[in-house]
Amino acid sequence: MSELRLEAKDLPVSRTTTLGNKTGSWKYIRPVYHDGVAPCNQGCPVGIDIEGYMNLLREDRVAEALDLLLRENPLPAVTGRVCDHPCEAACNRKELDGAVAIHAVERALGDLALERPAVAMPVTHQEQVAVVGSGPAGLACAYHLNRLGYAATVFEAAAEPGGMLRLGIPEYRLPRLVLDRQLEHLRQQGINFVCNTRIGLDLDWSVLSWFDAVFIGTGAHLPRPLGLAGEDNPAVRQGLDFLADVNGGARPDVGHAVIVIGGGNTAMDCARTARRLGAEVTVVYRRTRAEMPAIREEIADAEREGVRFEYLASPVAFGEDSEGVVDVAFERMVLGEPDASGRRAPVPTGERFQHAVDLVLLATGENASLESLPPEVKVGKGSIEADRLGATGHGTYFAGGDVAGHDRTVAHALGAGKRAAIGIDRRLRAQRGEAVPELLPADLTALSLGPQGNLSMTRWRHDDPVRRVAPLLEVVGPEQLNLTHFEPAERHPDHKPNGASATTFAEVNLGLTRTEALAEARRCCNCGVCNECELCLIYCADVAIRRGTNGDRFEIDLEYCKGCGVCAEECPRGAIGMTREGL
């Protein structure tokens, strides 16, 4: 009953195959598969291959995704909670239906990573490295050096490691259990921690002389005085001191009314912490909400928890303490021309007003502690002078993080620690007589996730780049995507308040479930990197694209590809380009 009655003579069908018509001779340009850099990867100060792990998650290859994430980021359960996620601001998907909730996916992955046993790293090199300061910069440096085969010892002034992660960030944002488990993983990996030891104060830097390299990541936690009358009033406290007390378990009496001065994350942390201790809290900031440097979710959470905001006001004096009450005098500001930060600057108006409160918390920034540094290290304006790989003027000493003047975020500190690890590895290898890259700016670019991106440990170690056959340094912008090929899919709500947050120190954001995180990962466009969606294969009018002989990626049959460019045009993620080369 089949269609055997139909004969070729009944239809206009060629008698021979069309394979003799080698349309490849028509072309003057040809398509080429290349792998660009996704903008999230460039946007990440840590230098995580976000697109890469999203690509693996798309295929439910969770363990491999975790491995890839951990190649670059030692603390995903931490950054997944406290990072200000510039990756999402860079995400191309916001042109379609909202950036991928990378931050929330990272947190889910970070928690999954903590459920796996830590893998002890074999020490393969003789050289020993000391890391001074166990904040994110120091932890990152020690972590990467340890994974590169070095024994790393971290010295910490406080009783427990973590630096600003432990002292500065409240529990409701970063539960101690998560931080402790994350640090336990680093310990089990092989990092040695020496706490209660202030290098430069309790012990002289010379005790580290038998280490082959020393990384200084002592951070910035010195109060920056405002220079105002009455600042020495005991009811006027440094915000960081207050946070360190509460984060250490203290529950001080804050009275009824608290004023927090500042607009950064420390200000939000002070305000929300004081709120949890029962106070009516007002944040006073000299610019407006739009200029506040704090993470947007933190501002929104503070507002939701009942913190009040007084914008365009700056303190001028703290009045006499009468029965524990401080009179704070403020001056009204207006916004003027943009300043060096690009934000509109506050300009005094002369108008004054007063608030009487029980406690004032100052959160207007901190200075790096530069007094107790080794004398060989060159100190510039407010920070150690170090190059991109953390090298100071002195060969043994490297530095990174807040003390070296980097942007004061956890992510930037982690990124600086990683770069210093590369710098130290390169120096020690050179001392061993190995050939090492020159590390001229061009060489650094070759290691970077895009021209503005951080360095990639994968590239430094020549690890498997995962799915990338021809890595390019170009960042793929939205104009290089073909967004019509993506099904609209709403971003998962990544900030889910627990509902009881204003009264307890329980973690506020509930995060995504594993299932939600995997679904969110499927929203990733995999910008610039072929994920074998096969659209090129379908669109090629000459059937000149086929699966590679080993089943991996695609091959272009140049005998038949006529260079029409439809594959490059239709590729949803800009992973195909057209070139004149090789013709």
CB of 26 to other proteins, least distance (A): 17
CB of 8 to other proteins, least distance (A): 6
Rounded Cα–Cα distance for residues 64 and 53 (Å) = 8
CB of 546 to other proteins, least distance (A): 8
Residues whose CB falls within 8 Å of the CB of residue 437, separated by 6 or more in sequence, listed in order? 426, 443
CB of 18 to other proteins, least distance (A): 5
Is the Cβ of residue 221 or residue 562 nearer to other proteins in the bound state? 562
Rounded Cα–Cα distance for residues 357 and 563 (Å) = 74
CB of 548 to other proteins, least distance (A): 16
Is the Cβ of residue 224 or residue 547 nearer to other proteins in the bound state? 547
366-368 and 220-223 strand pairing? antiparallel
Residues whose CB falls within 8 Å of the CB of residue 99, separated by 6 or more in sequence, listed in order? 88, 89, 91, 93, 491
Rounded Cα–Cα distance for residues 577 and 480 (Å) = 10
* Structure-token match 């704090």, residue found: 294
**Amino acid making up residue 487:** E
Beta bridge partners of 361: 237, 260
CB of 9 to other proteins, least distance (A): 7
Is the Cβ of residue 2 or residue 206 nearer to other proteins in the bound state? 2
Burial class (CB in 10 A: 0-12, 13-18, 19+), 139: buried
**Interface with other proteins (CB under 8 A):** 1-14, 16-19, 543
Is the Cβ of residue 8 or residue 440 nearer to other proteins in the bound state? 8
Is the Cβ of residue 51 or residue 542 nearer to other proteins in the bound state? 542
CB of 28 to other proteins, least distance (A): 24
Is the Cβ of residue 21 or residue 196 nearer to other proteins in the bound state? 21
- State the helix-helix crossing angle for 136-147 and 410-431, rounded to 10 degrees: 40
H-only helix segments in 491-557: 514-521, 535-539
Phi, psi of 567 (to 5 degrees): -60, -45
Residues 102 and 86 sit within 8 Å (Cβ to Cβ): no
Is the Cβ of residue 13 or residue 435 nearer to other proteins in the bound state? 13
Is the Cβ of residue 13 or residue 340 nearer to other proteins in the bound state? 13
Instruction: Please state, as a whole number, how many other Cβ atoms lie within 10 Å of the Cβ of residue 199.
Output: 23
Residues whose CB falls within 8 Å of the CB of residue 404, separated by 6 or more in sequence, listed in order? 137, 216, 383, 384, 385, 386, 390, 416
CB of 487 to other proteins, least distance (A): 11
